[in-house]
Structure 1
């Protein structure tokens, strides 16, 4: 029995030592203040943009040699009513269409990210108006010190999330179904 332990111990020790750098490389990050989240769309009258600079998010990233290798998990969410267009009527129509009394939050949950350097492809789920749908889109990643900035956009349709495009002025102004969700978010390590 003692002989067997002597033979197995170096193997177990090697496995523990070899996994130690991987465990250290995984770092928890949080969303830095003032992210840029935007939804662009149009109507029969004019184009419109709704933005928010308030969101929350967390990620677990693998960084080796001060370079992003992978992201184990990431979630970014914003209060639906934090989106503002600068026009109260447009905002109210949007909140009604999103049913913000029941669906307080818009969320993206990362499922997978692939790529290297500054070019990545993200796959995950958007939850908008209480409906969750898969999404895949390119993401540009830049680094400043120990912070990572992610920038990209995703084209979709309101009806994909069971949202009826809003109308105004007795139906004479109709919102287009197509929208573009854009983001520029920076994550910093949690100290």
Structure 2
């Protein structure tokens, strides 16, 4: 009986040690105040882009020897109307298409990730745009310095995938194409 109690106590102490070590290795990082988020598209007349340099987010990760080994969670949110072009008419049409009166936030919520041998990551997560959520997989490049992790990549999709009608202008003479690309560079520290 004494041996059984000793074995249980040893197992309990090992369990506490593992939880303590894992807990200290896991850290939370906050999205830097100036992310680079850019939507690129085209129309039958010209190319266009919209940029946002404001977003919020958090990264929870396991760090060993100043390197990310596991990402537990990553969320990035931006106000849809923080996206700006150089043309207020384009912005107005884009906000209408994105239904920003009802859906104010564009969000990416990581569900799983895996680090590749070349140092990139595969992120699988849910993008929510204009109230529609889609699971996507992104290949993301990571660069890091001590206590700071930057993720860079792109996501190509069709507006209609998110039930967004491609905007038109001037009584339909200017038509936005369905395909767009989101380029991002976000830094957590």
TM class, shorter-chain normalised? over 0.9
Q: RMSD of aligned C-alpha atoms?
A: 1.2
Q: 1:7 to 1:115 in 2, by over 3 A?
A: closer
Name the SS for the 1:100 alignment partner. coil
TM-superposed deviation, 1:21: 1.8
Deviations for 1:159-181, whole angstroms, at most 9, x for unmatched residues? 00000001111111100000001
Deviations for 1:101-155, whole angstroms, at most 9, x for unmatched residues? 0010100001111114631111111100000011111100000111000000010
2:44 aligns to what? 44
2:167 aligns to what? 166
TM-score normalized by structure 1?
0.94
Q: Distance in 1 between matches of 2:15 and 2:79?
A: 45
TM-superposed deviation, 1:76: 0.2
TM-superposed deviation, 1:3: 5.0
Which structure 2 residues correspond to residues 1-191 of structure 1 after superposition, within 5 A?
A: 4-116=4-116, 118-188=119-189
Structure 1 stretch displaced more, 107-116 or 75-84: 107-116
- Structure 2 unaligned regions, length at least 5: none
After superposing on structure 2, the runs of 4+ consecutive aligned residues of structure 1 that deviate more than 3 Å are 1-4
Q: Distance in 2 between matches of 1:134 and 1:9?
A: 44
- Structure 1 unaligned regions, length at least 5: none
